[in-house]
């Protein structure tokens, strides 16, 4: 019997502090334009409330994961991340998302792409957006993913099973180099900034450069329209300088204000994605900000008191908690090289079933 809508298998999952539908690539259109139209329909965009879809009217809850078996040697699955704009007909596959990445391992096991291996199953993931490789360690028992556990992360109530994620070679993930402008310090519209890409292109600036303390709430920052206009001027200039082109319709680079830590961490942050103040900070954004703290000559130099060691843990504070990033570096020809980064996340399957889109979207 023919129905008036098309059913698409999907799982609705929380990954870290984000959530969204997870699809097998084989269940979506292969044509990019049709695929993007389907994703917009699934999420209910463009609409501020996303009332006709699964989106939660926030950038953190308007994300999609597309997973498929990988053909790369030693890699289990490919993960394509899509950021679906809330109020624009835009699907952006240029950035990564370390939070949604946390759900890829469990999803791959649930869909039979990776076999369970004892009490802890490693899932090697190719992040298609950037070409980077990450290994997620997923708690398992018998033939199933374990979601219950004692691990807690800021921004998510309760506790869940821990998922440890290790990244390798993330420098220049989107821009081609750790310092896309070739400098550790730039000036845009009179604002000193460090443009860095260690997994996520980020423009790091001192809050005081904008007359801010860095402890303002996201709501307070979003209400200051003059500040937001200046921030966008800086973002557009920095995007060009970082080799990202015209970024007015892109979610990168992410803009992060830094200030002295106030809750026992190493650095305090306020991040914008791309125009709204984030209630936390993205996983890979935190990695890039933490990396900036180690760079000589950056805007963060001297702000965070860190041990002089090749393996350090940096606590990045944000409006709803903190994020600890483990970084391993080495000195290569007098230059600082970032070898790897690691972090702890959690994920949970929320719903498994089918999502419907009109036939006019996908005939």
Class for the domain spanning 5-162+347-358: alpha beta
Q: Is the model's pLDDT at 255 over the cut of 70?
A: yes
Question: 308 burial class (0-12, 13-18, 19+ CB within 10 angstroms)?
Answer: exposed
Tokens of 94: 């240029």
Predicted confidence at residue 148, as pLDDT, reads 98
Position 2 scores a pLDDT of 58
Give residue 274's pLDDT. 86
Residue 107 has pLDDT above 70, yes or no: yes
The model's pLDDT over 72-88, given as tens digits with 9 standing for 90+, comes to 999 999 999 999 999 99
**Comparison of pLDDT for 346 and 273, the residue scoring more:** 346
**Phi–psi pair at 233, nearest 5 degrees:** -60, -45
Residue 193 has pLDDT above 60, yes or no: yes
Q: Are 315 and 322 in contact (CB under 8 A)?
A: yes
SS3 readout for the chain? CCCCEEEEEEEEEEECCEEEEEEEHHHCCCCHHHHHHHHHHHHCCCCCCCCCCCCCCCHHHCEEEEEEECCCCCCCEEEEEEEECCCCCCEECCCCCHHHHHHHHHHHHHCCCCCCCCCEEEEEEEECCCCEEEEEEEEEECCEECCCCCECCCCCCCCECCEEEEEECCECCCCCCCCCCCCCCEEECCEEEEEEEECCEEEEEEHHHHCCCCCCCHHHHHHCHHHHHHHHHHHHHHHHHCCCCCCCCCCCCEEEEEECCCCCCCEEEEEECCCCECCCCCHHHHHHHHHHHHCCCCCCCCCCCCCCCCEEEEEEEECCEEEEEEEEEEEECCEEEEEEEEEEECEEEEEEEEEEEECCCCC
Per-residue pLDDT for 340 more than 50?
yes
Quote the pLDDT of residue 118. Answer: 94
Reported as a pLDDT band with limits 50, 70 and 90, residue 1 is very low
**Confidence at residue 125, expressed as pLDDT on a 0 to 100 scale:** 98
Section 50-59 average pLDDT: 96
Measured between alpha carbons, how far is residue 30 from residues 34, 35, 64, 151, 242 in Å? 8, 7, 16, 38, 31
Mean pLDDT of 103-128: 97
Statement: residue 152 has pLDDT above 50: yes
Domain 186-338, CATH: 3.10.310.10
In the chain, which segments carry CATH 3.10.310.10? 5-162+347-358, 186-338
Angstrom distances, CA of residue 304 to CA of 76, 141, 262, 314, 340 = 37, 41, 11, 9, 20
State pLDDT tens for residues 260-283: 999 999 999 999 988 899 999 988
Of 3-7, 103-107, 148-152, 234-238, the range with the lowest mean pLDDT is 3-7
Mean pLDDT value across residues 5-33: 97
Model confidence pLDDT, tens digit, residues 279-327:
999 889 999 999 999 999 999 998 988 888 899 989 999 999 998 899 9
Q: How many CA atoms lie within 13 A of 139 on its CB side?
A: 16
Mean pLDDT value across the chain: 95
């Amino acid at each position: 019997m023919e129905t008036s809508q098309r059913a698409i298998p999907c799982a609705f999952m929380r990954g870290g502090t984000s959530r969204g539908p997870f699809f097998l690539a084989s269940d979506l259109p292969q044509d990019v334009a049709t695929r993007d139209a389907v994703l917009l329909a699934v999420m209910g965009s463009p609409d501020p409330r996303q009332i006709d879809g699964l989106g939660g009217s926030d950038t953190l809850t308007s994300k999609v994961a597309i997973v498929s078996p990988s053909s790369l040697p030693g890699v289990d699955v490919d993960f394509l991340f899509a950021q679906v704009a809330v109020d624009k007909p835009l699907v952006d596959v240029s950035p990564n998302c370390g939070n949604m990445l946390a759900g890829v391992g469990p999803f791959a096991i649930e869909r039979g792409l990776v076999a369970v291996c004892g009490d802890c199953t490693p899932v090697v993931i190719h992040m298609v957006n950037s070409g980077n490789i990450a290994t997620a360690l997923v708690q398992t028992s018998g033939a199933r993913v374990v979601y219950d556990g004692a691990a807690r992360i800021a921004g998510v109530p309760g506790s869940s099973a821990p998922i440890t994620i290790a990244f390798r070679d993330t420098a220049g993930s989107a821009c081609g180099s750790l310092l896309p402008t070739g400098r550790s310090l730039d000036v845009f519209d009179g604002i000193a900034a460090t443009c860095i890409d260690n997994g996520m292109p980020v423009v790091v600036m001192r809050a005081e450069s904008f007359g801010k303390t860095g402890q303002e709430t996201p709501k307070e920052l979003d209400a200051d329209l003059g500040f937001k206009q200046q921030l966008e001027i800086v973002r557009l200039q920095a995007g060009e300088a970082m080799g990202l082109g015209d970024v007015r319709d892109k979610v990168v680079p992410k803009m992060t204000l830094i200030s002295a830590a106030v809750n026992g961490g190493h650095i305090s942050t306020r991040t914008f994605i791309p125009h709204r103040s984030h209630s936390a900070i993205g996983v890979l954004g935190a990695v890039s900000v933490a990396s900036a703290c180690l760079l000589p000559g950056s805007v963060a130099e001297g702000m965070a008191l860190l041990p002089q060691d090749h393996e350090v843990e940096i606590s990045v504070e944000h409006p709803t908690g903190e994020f600890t990033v483990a970084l391993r570096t080495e000195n290569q020809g007098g230059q600082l090289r970032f070898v790897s980064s690691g972090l702890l996340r959690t994920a949970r399957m929320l719903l498994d079933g089918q999502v419907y889109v009109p036939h006019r979207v996908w005939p």
